[in-house]
Amino acid sequence: MKLDGKVAVVTGAASGMGKSIAELYAKEGAKVILADLNLEGAEKVTDQITNNGGTAKAVKVNVAELADIENMIDTAVSEYGTLDILVNNAGIMDGMEPVGEVTDERWDLIFDINTKGVMRAIRKALPIFLEKEKGVIINTASTGGLNGAHAGATYGASKHAVVGLTKNTGFMYAEKGIRCNAIAPGGVETNIASSMKNISEFGASRAQLAHAVMPRSGQPEEIAQVALFLASDESSFVNGTVVTADGGWTAAF
Ligand code: NAD
């Protein structure tokens, strides 16, 4: 068991990659807080984990709300005594239009969820990690956070910001035993991916071009394996970087 006795918080754990990450972490011995806006969905996954002998608890969290983020980390400590692994995975794949069509309201909402929520969770978890001089942070970015072709202006910028935050956090706290890395998934078959059909006509033509060269779409379980490696001590010298998991998609650009 690679995460035996560790305490992990996974956001967006009711579905897709977050669900797979929570399930794999529990299988590897971690006690997992499944944080999601969709409490019912998170509870379903939690039930499956506990039925399989794992330890897990669901918490309703809107990552755009500071009080929810703080409660999420506090719950990990009150339930399981500490926090070892923070996975900031929740996000919305919205904001696929080019900058000329961006509204301030959509920009703020997407940044609140995809970016500010990540910063706030890290900030809240840091004192726990600093006290024991050990901690792991994993942020779900996107290949849209690495190039201009896989996403629209707002989504792309929100995920580029996650990459920047990841690098700075990894660098600033390396001496304190804290590692912070991001995963940049390519197209993965989840609920979110199906919403890609709803992007604007301009975005769709760009996205379709990019999709034309995508070798294949990924499965959430394939991303969970990357998240397991980054959470375990096997990645002890991997810090402040982005692991792309896209089947070679980005390599085509
Ligand atoms: P998903 O829709 O299956 O899962 C996302 C989960 O996040 C859902 O359970 C949803 O309820 C939750 N969520 C949404 N907004 C929330 C909020 N405000 N507070 C708390 N929870 C919230 O999608 P997924 O593909 O598994 O997405 C996970 C992450 O992966 C996202 O950050 C997404 O941007 C990123 N991503 C996805 C793809 C892809 O192709 N699927 C590619 C690159 C990056």
pLDDT tens across 152-177, in order?
A: 999 999 999 999 999 999 999 999 99
> How remote is the CA of residue 79 from the centroid of ligand 1, in Å?
25
DSSP 139: E
- The pLDDT value recorded for residue 150 is 79
Q: What's the number of CA atoms in the CB half-sphere (13 Å) around residue 215?
A: 11
Nearest protein Cα to ligand 1, atom 12: 12
Nearest protein Cα to ligand 1, atom 5: 12
CB 164 within 8 A of CB 191: no
- The pLDDT value recorded for residue 209 is 61
**Residue 101 neighbours by CB distance under 10 Å:** 15
Look-up of token digits 């608890």: 57
Give CA separation, 188 vs 30, 49, 89, 181, 217, in Å: 24, 22, 13, 19, 5
User: What is the pLDDT averaged over residues 113-133?
Assistant: 98
Torsion angle, CA of 239/185/232/176, rounded to 10 degrees? 30
Q: 14-51: per-residue pLDDT in tens?
A: 999 999 999 999 999 999 999 999 999 999 999 999 99
Q: Nearest-5° angle of CA 85, CA 156, CA 180?
A: 20
Torsion angle, CA of 76/82/85/89, rounded to 10 degrees? 20
CB 95 within 8 A of CB 110: yes
If one compares 23 and 213, the residue with the highest pLDDT of the two is: 23
Question: Which tokens belong to 80?
Answer: 């399981």
Give CA separation, 184 vs 80, 85, 138, 250, in Å: 29, 18, 11, 10
Question: Rounded to an integer, what distance in angstroms lies between the CA atom of residue 174 and that of residue 215?
Answer: 35
Told to judge if 155 belongs to the known catalytic residues of this protein, a careful annotator would answer yes
Best residue for ligand 1 mutational test, from 93, 96, 143 (most atoms within 8 Å of Cβ): 93
Residue 100 phi, psi (nearest 5)? -60, -20
Which residues have any ligand 1 atom within 6 Å of their CB?
A: 11-12, 14-18, 36-38, 41, 61-64, 89-93, 113, 140, 142, 185, 187-188, 190-193
Nearest atom of ligand 1 to the alpha carbon of 159:
34
Rounded to the nearest integer, the mean pLDDT of the chain is: 93
User: What is the pLDDT averaged over residues 142-148?
Assistant: 94
ipTM of the complex: 0.99
Nearest atom of ligand 1 to the alpha carbon of 41:
9
Nearest protein Cα to ligand 1, atom 33: 91
Residue 11 phi, psi (nearest 5)? -90, 155
Out of 91-100, 129-138, 185-194, the most confident range is 129-138
Nearest atom of ligand 1 to the alpha carbon of 141:
44
